[in-house]
Amino acid sequence: MMKENAIVVMLKVPKPGKVKTRLVPPLDMEEAAGLYRCFIEDTISRVQHLSLLHAPHHNIRLFAAYTPQKQKDIISSILPSSVDLMPQRGCGLGERLFGVFEKLFTKNYKRVVVIGSDSPDIPLDYIKRAFELLTEKEGGLVIGPSEDGGYYLIAMDRPWRKPFEGIPWGTCNVLEETIQRCKGRGIEVSLLPSWRDIDTIEDITRLIYNPLTPASRNFIHNNLPRIINR
């Protein structure tokens, strides 16, 4: 039987020195890792609500694609048991992203939306719209552009490999290059509204009083008062 929809959150194990290193300094490595763990908690908590939606968004399964592979126990201790865990596989981000889509389509999911863990206040309406666009335009690609030139969301209804090949990951040209590669292959791209990743201290200030990110907000107030007083 064809399964319907899957949402995948791409995340890293929140180990000091391995996550949110662009925030160090002024944060130290422990603080950056603690804040990133809150990003994970807030993101998962928000997208879990989508499982309660009705058609065409019904039957949504939530996955967490984590890296490194050998630290599943840490991720398991952070996430609710209702979230399915899957290790990221591949040498680079492009391979890991494609691997997620390929695996879920092999498992007969019909539409797959992948988001990052750096946008804990992502509007749920944007994710809903991604599913709608996949339903309306079969064979296309949906991208949510981020303010830094990358993207916070990518979605498709079949395992296109081209959008992940030869992309200059970590630069401001990720979105542009992805769109160009899709055009070259004849893949129609639909764009969602732009949103933000939390990558700088200025970005963090957007979470200080944000009701959509309670774990991140509380961590900032309890552990990073100097950020509030900037």
| 121-132: average pLDDT | 95
- Full-model pTM: 0.95
Rounded (10°) angle between helices 124-136 and 29-48: 50
In a domain, 229, yes or no: no
For Cα atoms 66, 118, 143, give the angle at the middle one, nearest 5 degrees. Answer: 90
Domain that holds residue 156: 3-224
- pLDDT tens for residues 24-55? 999 999 999 999 999 999 999 999 988 655 44
Give me the pLDDT at residue 4, please.
86
Give me the pLDDT at residue 177, please.
97
Please report, rounded to a whole number, the percentage of residues in the chain having pLDDT higher than 70. Answer: 95
| 59-75: average pLDDT | 94
Give me the pLDDT at residue 54, please.
45
Rounded (10°) angle between helices 214-223 and 29-48: 160
Whether pLDDT at 5 is above 50? yes
Max distance between CA atoms of the chain, in angstroms, equals 55
CATH number at residue 216: 3.90.550.10
In a domain, 161, yes or no: yes
In a domain, 39, yes or no: yes
- pLDDT tens for residues 135-172? 998 899 999 999 999 999 999 999 999 999 999 999 99
In a domain, 230, yes or no: no
| 171-181: average pLDDT | 96
In a domain, 155, yes or no: yes
In a domain, 100, yes or no: yes
- pLDDT tens for residues 69-116? 999 999 999 999 999 999 999 989 999 999 999 999 999 999 999 999
In a domain, 12, yes or no: yes
Whether pLDDT at 21 is above 80? yes
**Number of separate domains in the chain:** 1
Rounded to whole angstroms, the Cα distance separating 215 from 176 reads 33
Give me the pLDDT at residue 59, please.
79
Give 154-212 as a DSSP string.
EEESS---GGGSS--TTSTTHHHHHHHHHHHHT--EEEPPPB----SHHHHGGGTT-TT
Give me the pLDDT at residue 58, please.
60
Rounded to whole angstroms, the Cα distance separating 215 from 37 reads 9
Pairing of strands 3-12, 109-115: parallel
For Cα atoms 57, 101, 200, give the angle at the middle one, nearest 5 degrees. Answer: 85
Q: Are 118 and 197 in contact (CB under 8 A)?
A: yes
